Amino acid sequence: MDFEKAFDRGEFLEIASASDRVRTSRERLILGISLFKLGRNSEAMSVLKEIEEEIEHLVKALYYMARIHSRQHEYDAAELALIRYTAFYPDDDEARDILERPDENEEGMVSEPSAELARIYAQQGHYEEALNIFADLLKTSAQDPELKKEALKVQDRYLLKSLEQWLERLKK
């Protein structure tokens, strides 16, 4: 069954009866809307809640798109992706930090990645930035056991922070 064509034709009952053939998220959305239009609100809500849970997991793609745009100095595109991302995760401090554009007049003030800079980021709770710096440093000095040990500690803290945020969202 072509769910989109059936939806465009207003064949909501046929879509609802073909619910066992739904395979994609788009088809589930069409099913949910069709159930809603048929007045089957509890069934529609069940289908739409499944979609919402999936969206909450997939929306993290917007965060990483924003990071990539920011690294490429495409700040408008980064901002657009973050606006869409923060609709789901409004309390994500790291996402807001991406929007901080470097001042174009301070070109000479670009910092070189260093273990000290990574430590400062980690102390401020910016674990992902710290891990990125450690990763760059470990590419050139992979034999330094102390640096590797520090990076692993920061990685552990980052994982804990991520898990705490995840548990907090589950409580809501």
Phi/psi at 119 (5° precision): -65, -40
Which of residues 100, 130, 160 is at a domain's end? 100
Confirm if 51 and 29 have CB atoms less than 8 A apart.
yes
| Domain total of the chain | 3
Same domain, 50 and 63: no
Give domain status of residue 106, yes or no: no
Whether 96 has a pLDDT exceeding 80, the answer reads no
Same domain, 49 and 12: yes
Confidence class of residue 111 from pLDDT cuts 50, 70 and 90?
low
Whether 108 has a pLDDT exceeding 50, the answer reads no
Give domain status of residue 43, yes or no: yes
Same domain, 52 and 66: no
Same domain, 79 and 36: no
pTM over 0.75: no
Same domain, 132 and 79: no
Calpha distance 31→110 (Å, rounded): 52
Q: Is 141 exposed, middle or buried, given 0-12, 13-18 or 19+ CB atoms closer than 10 A?
A: exposed
Give domain status of residue 105, yes or no: no
Same domain, 7 and 46: yes
Confirm if 43 and 28 have CB atoms less than 8 A apart.
no
Q: Which domain holds residue 18?
A: 3-57
Same domain, 24 and 75: no
Same domain, 16 and 38: yes
132-156 pLDDT, tens digit per residue, is: 888 888 887 767 788 888 888 988 8
pLDDT for the residue 50: 92
34-67 pLDDT, tens digit per residue, is: 999 999 999 999 999 999 988 888 898 999 998 8
Same domain, 66 and 18: no
Calpha distance 131→156 (Å, rounded): 10
Here the tokens at position 164 are 């705490």
Top pLDDT among 30 and 158 is at 30
Q: What is the mean pLDDT of the chain?
A: 84
Calpha distance 40→46 (Å, rounded): 10
pLDDT for the residue 116: 82
